[in-house]
């Protein structure tokens, strides 16, 4: 009897673990050829488990941005399968696609905020996927949305900045507003396309800290492209390296030594240390 | 270079050379006719142009070859190439023909100044007795320009979204909508407001309403072009970001495009009002009402002192509008 219970327990735990660690992103044999003829992705196979903080390393032009944008179909892939949250992204269109996108937050290198609007308005735009067309045409805001937006702004440490215009904020503050906007979507997955590439090292770390917190506290999956190995080691749970549209490394951040690093970034590169 | 591309490039090159040579020979034959009254047959021009085209094409570096075949050979000085001489000949012939057609005559310009004496004295001695009447007409002009601009805004605003390349999907329908709206706007813009005024003065009768309609049509076309070009120049980052939140196309337009274009749109609109005030004067000449109509009447009655005050008033208003709109635009576009 005891043995039975023991086995049952083990089974339960493993099932629970399995459930817990289910795949949130599955990419199979993904190719992207741009109309100009550039072969940006050459057969990517990648599975991302829920709760991972996946760092994508690689030179500019290695296909990082393309890969991230294929995941929410900002760029249409040429061939291959992409499953996000158990839904087929490649085939999704119209309403379906918008529903999928709604649960994927995205953060950009250039922040991509609307510069002459206030931080609060920008954060509220993250809710557009949930808002009816009538409400968005008349610019009416739902009370709960505003409350949620203010809460998210507080979360990224910008409580007092809600009425400031974006163009009057610093780069780090802008990126934090962008994170708050992504949070409005209640995302399960956050895509970050070089979120700290246009920030100074100290600000970069603070922005990464917020992403790390979302990953650990809210169990959001983060896929983030980066250039700095030090940040990758600090926040990433797993690293994938791209080179010429192919995955050349997949493993733990700590497994990347100098030799690996040079393989990814080319022979002449030295690792840039920040902090 | 691919084979099809090469063939189209050859065809384009030959057509370019041919048209250019036909133009040059045509100009020369026109000059020959003007000077020695000798008519050169059109067939002869076409034939010789064709022969020379083929000849130049095979000898090399003709204009068409230069334009459509990126050459790998060493670059010569322009005067050592055929295309260089092509262009020089073209410019020279154009200038001479232009001089001939326009009947440039400097002797008339310098010797007949006293003919304009009446109007000059009118300008320097304006008749202030008709000031009230002139100001009424002037107000009419300014208001008709304002209304034309205001009525044009909603049409141009909506149309501009469909005439912006980056917003229209790259499908057949998207392209068709873009091309149709752009083409219609271009056609309507290339028909002068003057012509529209003639049409509408017949349609609704002579008066400021006809002038307003004429300026409105022209403004819609012009603003559609300006607005849509502004949309094509927006920062695409926010558009991408809003799209990624799961927003629909219309939501993306409202929240990512509109905030970026509002102030340049206002700037363009004010600029357009400024232009419309100027155009309203001209439009008045052909039945569009306002101060233009008054000016025409006084000029035909040869009352040069009345014409004088009208000219001063128009100049004053145009100057004020110009300055105001420049000031407001500078305020709007500063970021």
Domain span including residue B27: 3-104
What is the average pLDDT value for chain B, to the nearest integer? Answer: 86
In chain A, residues with a C-beta closer than 8 Å to the C-beta of B335 are 115-116, 167
Domain boundary among B48, B72, B104: B104
> Does residue B161 sit within a domain?
yes
CATH number for the domain spanning B206: value is: 1.10.3720.10
In the predicted model, is pLDDT for residue B335 greater than 60?
no
Chain A residue numbers with beta carbons less than 8 Å from the beta carbon of B256 are 114, 125
CB atoms within 10 A of CB A246: 15
Residue B301 within a domain: yes
Residues in chain A: 275
Task: State the pLDDT at residue A112.
Answer: 93
Q: How far apart are CA A68 and CA B18, in angstroms?
A: 52
B53 and B197 housed in the same domain? no
CA A180 – CA B23 distance, rounded (Å) = 64
Is residue B175, in this structure, part of any structural domain at all?
A: yes
> Does the CB of B254 have a partner CB in chain A at under 8 Å?
yes
Residue B114, domain member (yes or no): no
What's the confidence (pLDDT) of residue A275?
A: 45
Q: Which residues of B touch A129 (CB under 8 A)?
A: 245-247
Chain A residues within an 8 Å CB radius of B250: 133, 136-137
ipTM at complex level: 0.85
> What was the pLDDT predicted at B217?
93
* Band of pLDDT at residue B39, cut at 50, 70 and 90: confident
**What is the count of structural domains for chain B?**
2
Asked if the structure places residue B109 within a domain, the reply is no
Q: Last residue of some domain: B104, B133, B168?
A: B104
User: Where are the alpha helices (H) located in chain B, listed in sequence order?
Assistant: 3-36, 42-59, 63-68, 82-102, 106-111, 117-124, 131-162, 172-190, 193-203, 208-232, 236-244, 249-252, 258-283, 290-300, 304-333
Separation between Cα atoms, residue A275 and residue A265, nearest integer Å: 20
Asked if B25 contacts B45 with a C-beta cutoff of 8 angstroms, the reply is: yes
Query: How far is Cα B105 from Cα B112, in angstroms, rounded to an integer?
Result: 11
Work out the average pLDDT over A158-173. 89
Please report the pLDDT score of residue A3 as a whole number.
65
Give the residue from B161, B241, B242, B260 with the most A CB atoms within 10 Å of its CB, the best one to mutate.
Answer: B241
Query: Could you read off the pLDDT of B88-143 as tens digits, one per residue?
Result: 999 999 999 999 899 888 888 888 888 888 788 888 888 888 888 899 999 988 99
Q: Are residues B67 and B205 in the same domain?
A: no
- What tens digit of pLDDT does each residue of A49-69 get? 999 999 998 888 888 899 999
* B167 shares its domain with B306: yes
Position B23 pLDDT exceeds 50 = yes
Q: Is A2 helix (H, G, I), strand (E, B) or coil?
A: helix
Q: Identify the sign of the CA torsion A216, A219, A220, A224.
A: positive
Quick one: what percent of chain B has pLDDT higher than 70? 97
Which CATH number does A51-78+90-265 carry? 3.40.50.300
* Residues B11, B99 within the same domain: yes
| pLDDT tens, residue by residue, B209-260 | 998 999 999 999 999 999 999 999 888 899 999 999 999 989 998 999 988 8
Looking at the structure, tell me whether residues B178 and B295 fall in a common domain: yes
Question: CB under 8 Å to A215, separation ≥6 — which residues?
Answer: A51, A53, A221, A222, A235
Which residue does chain A place closest to B333, by CA atoms? A116
Do B172 and B93 share a domain, yes or no? no
Domain boundaries, chain A: 51-78+90-265
Same domain, B135 and B170: yes
Strand runs (DSSP E) across A58-187, as ranges?
A: 79-84, 87-88, 104-107
Same domain, B94 and B132: no
User: Considering only CB atoms, which chain B residues are within 8 Å of A114?
Assistant: 238, 255-256, 259-260
Confidence of residue B69 (pLDDT cuts 50, 70, 90): confident
- pLDDT recorded at residue B73: 62
Region B147-159 average pLDDT: 93
Residue B1 has a pLDDT of 56
* Residue B169 forms contact with A (CB below 8 Å): no
- Answer whether B280's CB lies under 8 Å from B145's CB: yes
Q: Are residues B54 and B169 in the same domain?
A: no
- Say yes or no for a CB contact (<8 Å) between A112 and B245: no
Tens-place pLDDT, residues B292-312: 888 888 888 888 888 899 989
Residue B117 located in a structural domain:
no
Nearest by CB to B251, which of A106, A108, A133?
A133
Q: Are residues B126 and B98 in the same domain?
A: no
Tell me if B8 sits within 8 A of B78, measured CB to CB. Answer: no
Domain boundary among B40, B71, B104: B104
Give me the pLDDT at residue A267, please.
63
Residues B75 and B131 in one domain: no
Contact A21, A50 (CB under 8 A): yes
Same domain, B87 and B231: no
B115 within domain boundaries: no
């Amino acid at each position: 009897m005891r043995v039975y219970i023991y086995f049952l327990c083990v089974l339960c735990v493993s099932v629970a673990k399995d459930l817990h660690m289910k795949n949130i992103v599955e990419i199979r044999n993904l190719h992207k050829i741009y109309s100009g003829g550039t072969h940006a992705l050459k057969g990517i196979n990648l599975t991302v488990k829920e709760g991972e903080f996946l760092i994508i390393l690689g030179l500019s032009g290695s296909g990082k941005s393309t890969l991230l944008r294929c995941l929410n179909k900002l760029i249409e892939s040429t061939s291959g399968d992409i499953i996000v949250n158990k839904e087929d992204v490649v085939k999704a269109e119209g309403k379906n696609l918008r529903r999928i996108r709604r649960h994927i937050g995205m953060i950009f290198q250039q922040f991509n905020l609307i510069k002459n609007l206030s931080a609060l308005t920008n954060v509220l735009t993250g809710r557009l996927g949930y808002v009816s067309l009538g409400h968005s045409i008349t610019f009416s805001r739902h009370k709960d949305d505003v409350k949620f937006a203010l809460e998210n702004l507080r979360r990224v440490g910008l409580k007092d900045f809600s009425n400031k215009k974006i163009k009057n904020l610093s780069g780090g503050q802008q990126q934090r507003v962008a994170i708050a906007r992504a949070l409005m979507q209640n995302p399960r997955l956050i895509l970050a396309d070089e979120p700290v590439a246009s920030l100074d090292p100290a600000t970069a770390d603070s922005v990464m800290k917020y992403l790390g917190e979302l990953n650990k506290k809210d169990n959001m999956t983060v896929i983030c492209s980066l250039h700095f190995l030090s940040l990758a080691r600090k926040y990433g749970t797993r690293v994938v390296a791209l080179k010429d549209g192919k995955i050349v490394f997949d493993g733990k951040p700590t497994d990347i030594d100098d030799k690996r690093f040079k393989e990814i970034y080319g022979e002449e590169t030295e690792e840039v240390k920040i902090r | 270079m691919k084979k099809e591309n090469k063939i189209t490039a050859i065809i384009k090159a030959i057509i370019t050379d041919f048209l250019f040579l036909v133009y040059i020979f045509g100009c020369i034959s026109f000059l020959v006719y003007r000077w020695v009254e000798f008519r050169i047959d059109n067939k002869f021009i076409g034939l010789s142009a064709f022969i020379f085209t083929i000849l130049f094409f095979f000898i090399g570096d003709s204009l068409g070859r230069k334009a459509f075949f990126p050459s790998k050979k060493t670059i010569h000085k322009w005067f050592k190439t055929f295309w260089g001489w092509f262009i020089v000949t073209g410019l020279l012939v154009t200038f001479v023909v232009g001089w001939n057609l326009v009947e440039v005559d400097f002797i008339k310009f310098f010797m007949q100044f006293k003919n304009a004496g009446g109007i000059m004295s009118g300008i320097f001695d304006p008749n202030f007795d008709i000031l009230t009447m002139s100001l009424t007409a002037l107000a009419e002009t300014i208001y008709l320009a304002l209304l034309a601009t205001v009525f044009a805004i909603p049409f141009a605003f909506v149309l501009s979204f469909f005439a912006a390349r980056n917003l229209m999907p790259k499908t057949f329908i998207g392209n068709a909508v873009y091309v149709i709206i752009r083409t219609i706007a271009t056609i309507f813009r290339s028909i002068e407001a003057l012509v529209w005024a003639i049409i509408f003065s017949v349609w609704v009768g002579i008066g400021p309403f006809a002038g307003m309609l004429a300026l409105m049509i022209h403004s819609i076309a012009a603003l559609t072009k300006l607005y849509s070009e502004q949309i094509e120049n927006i920062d695409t980052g926010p558009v991408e970001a809003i799209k990624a939140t799961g927003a629909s196309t219309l939501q993306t337009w409202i929240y990512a495009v509109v905030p970026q274009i509002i102030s340049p749109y206002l700037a363009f609109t004010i600029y357009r009002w400024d232009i419309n005030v100027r155009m309203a004067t001209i439009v008045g000449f052909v039945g569009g009402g306002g101060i233009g109509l008054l000016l025409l009447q006084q000029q035909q009655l040869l009352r040069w002192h009345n014409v004088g005050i009208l000219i001063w008033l128009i100049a004053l208003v145009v100057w004020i509008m110009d300055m105001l709109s420049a000031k407001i635009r500078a305020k709007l576009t500063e970021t």
